[in-house]
Amino acid sequence: MFVLSDGFKGGVVIVFDQPDGIIPEIKDGFVVYAIPDTGVLKVRSKATRKSAGTLYYYVRGDALVPVEYVDHWGQDRKSLENLTEDEKKDGVFVFNDGGIGTFNVGNRVISYRSFLVCSPTDKAKTYDSMMQKVFQIERDLGSKNGLL
């Protein structure tokens, strides 16, 4: 479960196995990743491989408001093709949660997970910005001997 600040838009990168990272809480059987406004979260734990049933939420006051995932192929969820014109123009969705990626830093392999939170019209721009964030994290890890 990924929990975002109300109105957050941008790229999210979770970097695993970081000694100074947080320990995610477990709630109702879900590992809860509270994403900071920077979009970068360091966690102490190893990467979780399971992505089926992943949930995304905005925090609004005391409530969690779902943010819908848009699947590239539309097999299990919404796809770009079946969004309404209003959703395409004004909607905010989660895109590109493709599982676990890795950095090879020195003799360490560090896992990360990334995804986008944006409107369909901003998807390409948000992806480019997120990848710049990913590359910067990789550079920082390399310069700090594998620690962010």
Q: Three-state SS across 85-141?
A: HHHHHHCCEEECCCCEEEEEECCEEEEEEEEEEECHHHHHHHHHHHHHHHHHHHHHH
Position 147 pLDDT exceeds 80: no
Asked if 12 and 141 count as a contact pair (C-beta separation under 8 A), the reply is: no
Which pLDDT tens digit goes with each residue over 28-82? 888 999 999 999 999 999 887 666 678 999 999 999 999 999 876 655 567 777 8
Asked if 114 and 12 count as a contact pair (C-beta separation under 8 A), the reply is: yes
Which pLDDT tens digit goes with each residue over 3-25? 999 999 999 999 999 999 999 99
pTM score, two decimals? Answer: 0.88
Q: Which pLDDT score, from 0 to 100, does residue 89 have?
A: 84
Domain locations in the chain as residue ranges: 2-143
